[in-house]
Amino acid sequence: MRKVIATVAFGALLVAGLSAVQEAPADSAMEWEPKVFSVGQDVSLF
């Protein structure tokens, strides 16, 4: 039982820690820089 409580508490602490940070975890796939230049048919490489 104590193990369970400790685990849940730890988990909650980690979640709280993650939420309270300076910068939210950035999703590299979802924030997209503009291209450097066009490449073939698909410019997304850049």
Partner 1 sequence: MEIGPHIKLHRIKQEMTQAELAEGIVSSAYLSKIENEKTEASPHVISLLCTRLGIQLDNETDEMVRQKCQEWFGMLTTNHDRDEIIRIYQELNEIMYNNHSADSLLMFEIHKIRYFLVIGEMDKALRQINKLVEMSGTFDSLHQYYWYKFRGNYYTANNESNQAMRMYKAAEEKFNQLELSEEEIADLQYTIGVTHSKLRNTLEAIDYAEKAIATFRVTYNFTQCAQCHIVLGISYRRIRMYDKAIKNYNLAKHLGELKQNRRVIQLTNQNLGYLYSTVGDREKAIVHYEEIIKEQDILLFERILAATSLIKEYYSIYNFDKAKEMVEFSLQLLEEVDEKERFQLFYFITYTYNYAINQELEKFESLVIDEFIPYLKKHKDYANLVIYANMLANHFEGNNRYKESVKYYKLANNTYEELVSL
Q: Write down the least CB distance from residue 25 to partner 1, Å.
A: 4
Q: Write down the least CB distance from residue 23 to partner 1, Å.
A: 7
Q: Is 2 in the site for partner 1 (CB under 8 A)?
A: no
Q: What is the DSSP string of the chain?
A: -HHHHHHHHHHHHHHHHHHTSSSPPP-TTTS-PPPSS--TT-GGG-
Alpha-carbon span 42 to 22, nearest angstrom: 35
Q: Is 22 in the site for partner 1 (CB under 8 A)?
A: yes
Sites of contact with partner 1 (CB under 8 A): 3-4, 7-8, 10-11, 14-15, 17-18, 21-46
